[in-house]
Structure 1
Amino acid sequence: MAAAARVLHEQGVERTTLADIAREADVPVGNVYYYFKTKDELVQAALSEHTAHLDELTGVLDQLPDPRDRLKGLVRAWVEQRDVAARYGCPTGTLAAELGKRTDGTLDAETGAVIRRLLDWAARQFREMGLSGADGGADGADGVDGPDDLALTLVAGYQGMSLLANALRDPDVMIREGDRLLRWLDSLQ
């Protein structure tokens, strides 16, 4: 599953073959066929790997006592992956973009669920910080962003910096934009 996630991230779904996965995992191709009958099953395995990685990261961050520090730790973890992002983009974001172009609409929804998991985690952190909007709502209709809006801003910032770092092949984009996100988090009252 880890090999599938790596190769799909580096090559994309359409360019990846089961033989590529077998080579990366250092197993016979027959083993890959035994466990994964189709490429879509490999994509689902990669999504499971992305979910497990996200859960591991947020589990570590949840050990921190302060929700702001958890969010800042998330941003720092993203910036640490700047060389990978500059070369291949965000693993889940690039997969979502590629799968969103398919017409069957099944795997792209599963990719969206991984991103939704991150958004929900981030929104919980903003709620714990007491940032729930002036009327307690999440829609920002009162002029104050609620936790869902703040989570969306944070994750959108990450997706944007990953995309630009990849498009420009410049890992420094991640550093500069990561610093901006950290300052933004510090500014929230």
Structure 2
Amino acid sequence: MTHSKSAPRSPGKRERLAAAAARVLHEQGVEQTTLADIARAADVPVGNVYYYFKTKNELVEAAIDAQAESLRAITGALDTLPTPQDRLKALLGGWIEQRELTARYGCPTGTLASELDKRADGLDQAIAQVVKALIDWAEQQFRAMGRDDSRELAVALVAAYQGISLLTNTLRDPGLMAAEGRRLERWIDSLA
């Protein structure tokens, strides 16, 4: 089926499918998720999925795009805060707020990156760009703090988050993420 300019299109259906794909892929993983699972989560008839996405990989790519858009929205909102320390600590706060979800399923981006790395379809590079965007944003914050080692600090921050996400998920202990978040806040304060 091809898209024609005159084909009727429900507003937001494609976006609902992409958002549902991001959520279901996070909860079930790429290999365990079916198009029917995503259609059900998006409240879209499964036959309609093919109108928007021809393959499961296209839906995975849309989920990656949804994660990238979510990151842009989050960092855009954080950019309104007055200082880079406030922005970085607010980012940590958002991660800590998600600790129960992380304990159950892991980091949405990190778990997807790990799973896609085992495939040879190029989607690993797409999710890597989302991680890189986060590192780039954190680097800007550390640079605004006057740090010459801003890239290294940004990598350390994201690595600490990914590490604690893995441990929080593996041990099913959301308290680990809360404790690491507090430690990282102190670390950010010590860098100013």
> What percentage of residue pairs aligned between the two structures are identical?
64
Residue among 90, 102, 105 paired with 1:85:
102
- Corresponding residue for 1:177? 180
- Report Cα offsets for 1:17-48 as digits up to 9, x if no partner: 00000110111001112111111101111011
Unaligned runs of 5+ in 1: 133-145
Unaligned runs of 5+ in 2: 1-17
- Corresponding residue for 2:11? none
TM-score (normalizing by structure 2): 0.90
- Corresponding residue for 1:72? 89
2: distance between equivalents of 1:114 and 1:53?
10
- Corresponding residue for 1:127? 143
1: distance between equivalents of 2:47 and 2:77?
36
- Corresponding residue for 1:44? 61
1: distance between equivalents of 2:178 and 2:58?
35
Letter in 1 for 2:146: G
Residue among 157, 160, 163 paired with 1:160:
163
* Cα deviation, residue 113, structure 1: 0.2
- Report Cα offsets for 1:79-127 as digits up to 9, x if no partner: 00001100000001000000001133x0000000000000000000000
2: distance between equivalents of 1:61 and 1:184?
19
Residue among 101, 111, 133 paired with 1:117:
133
* Secondary structure of the structure 1 residue equivalent to 2:90: helix
- Corresponding residue for 1:139? none
* Cα deviation, residue 59, structure 1: 0.6
Letter in 2 for 1:114: V
TM-score (normalizing by structure 1): 0.91
Residue 15, structure 1, aligned to residue 32, structure 2: yes
Letter in 2 for 1:188: L
2: distance between equivalents of 1:66 and 1:31?
46
Runs ≥4 in structure 1, deviation > 4 angstroms? Answer: none
Residue among 102, 107, 119 paired with 2:123:
107
- Corresponding residue for 1:137? none
Measured on the aligned residues, the alpha-carbon RMSD in Å equals 0.7
2: distance between equivalents of 1:169 and 1:92?
18
2: distance between equivalents of 1:89 and 1:53?
17
- Corresponding residue for 2:12? none
The alignment of Structure 1 onto Structure 2 pairs a total of residues equal to 175
